Amino acid sequence: MGTLILCLFYLLLYDAIWKYVNFMKRIVNKHPLAIRWFHWINFPVLSVMIWSGLLIYWANDIYKLGWGDKTLLKFFPDSFYDTLHIDHKLSTGMAFHFFFMWWFFLNGFLYVSYTIFSGEWRYLLPDRRSFKEAWQVVLHDLHIRKTAPPQDKYNAAQRIAYTAIIIMGIGSLITGLAVYKPVQLGWLCALCGGYEAARVEHFILTIGYVLFFLVHVIQVILAGWNNFQAMITGFEIIRQPKSVATSVAGVEPAVTAQPEQSDLPVTVIEPLYSETHTEAEIPEVAGIKELPESQPDLKELNSVENNLSNDENVKNEN
């Protein structure tokens, strides 16, 4: 057993060293500070709203799934209330529910306002491709499709889900007020289809929140710590191969400089004065029509050379 643990330790150590040597970390900003605050405020507030709503619902738990006298699922059996100890607490539920609903409204209102004025809605609202790509995301998450569709800040399924949650929040506020003040807000209650209809709609929206919570938490776990950390710190740490990270950073790999080769023809320049050329051929060989005026006379040069040769001959004879 100790050997197995030691082998596992060395394997993890090797993996960590290999990633450190071959991969480079890159920080990517993801969530602004305001979005993170709204998210973490809404989580406990909505949790208290659901919990207190169950305390209120206990007093008149009439909803079920079925038809006629046939019941497939009852919301909720007595064992459910007994296990969570939420029976006979109607007044407590109403006190918490009516207090925290204003926090729920205020936080939601600020979140929607910030999303609109900051431009974050561009990442949030679904576009014309979202419903098709959302199905591809579902297939990818179920390991039926190998590759996930391209995404920006959120994938298509997230866009639809988060937009739906905003709409559900508005619906919960409207139906909740209709149930809370059915007489004073009679017009709002009538808009929902009456008191009983408003209560059913409010209950269905609550079930929708619970299902969203379950899926959301599962997806966060599957996405890993890096995704969860982004909602706390505001950024993600992405590991990339160093060659890819260098290319992303805009730095090209070093290339050994090669000497430049000119395409111009090479011209071999011969001496202007040569024993093989006569005085008349010199200008033509040099590529000029006339000798410059400052050019010394060839006869004078030959005369000087002859004199020097004669002087040397005389010295040798002596």
Tens-digit pLDDT profile for residues 209-225:
999 999 999 999 888 88
pLDDT(26) > 80 = no
Considering the domain boundaries, does residue 69 fall inside one? Answer: yes
**Going by C-beta distance under 8 Å and a sequence separation of 6 or more, which residues neighbour residue 192?**
174, 175, 178, 198, 201
Structure tokens at 52: 């207190």
Q: Is residue 99 part of a domain?
A: yes
pLDDT digits (tens, 9 = 90+) for 39-87: 999 999 999 999 999 999 999 999 988 887 888 888 998 889 989 888 8
Residue, of 309 and 213, whose pLDDT is higher: 213
Give the pLDDT of residue 104: 95
Of residues 176 and 24, the one with the higher pLDDT is 176
Q: Average pLDDT of 252-275?
A: 47
CATH number, domain of 120, equals 1.20.950.20
pLDDT score, position 229: 87
Among residues 101, 118, 111, the alpha carbon closest in space to that of 52 is found at 101
Q: Could you list the residue range(s) of the whole structural domain that residue 133 is in? A: 28-248
In-domain check, residue 308: no
Q: What's the whole-model pTM score?
A: 0.66
Give the chain's domain count.
Answer: 1
Structural domain includes residue 229: yes
158 belongs to a structural domain = yes
Q: Is residue 285 part of a domain?
A: no
The verdict on residue 292 lying in a domain is no
Token representation of residue 164: 């739906």
Q: What is the distance between the alpha carbons of residues 314 and 176, in angstroms, rounded to a whole number?
A: 134
Is residue 47, in this structure, part of any structural domain at all? yes
Q: If you average pLDDT over every residue of the chain, what do you get?
A: 80
Give start and end residues of each alpha helix (H) in 224-278: 225-233, 242-248
Q: What is the sign, positive or negative, of the torsion defined by CA atoms of 123, 125, 130, 136?
A: positive
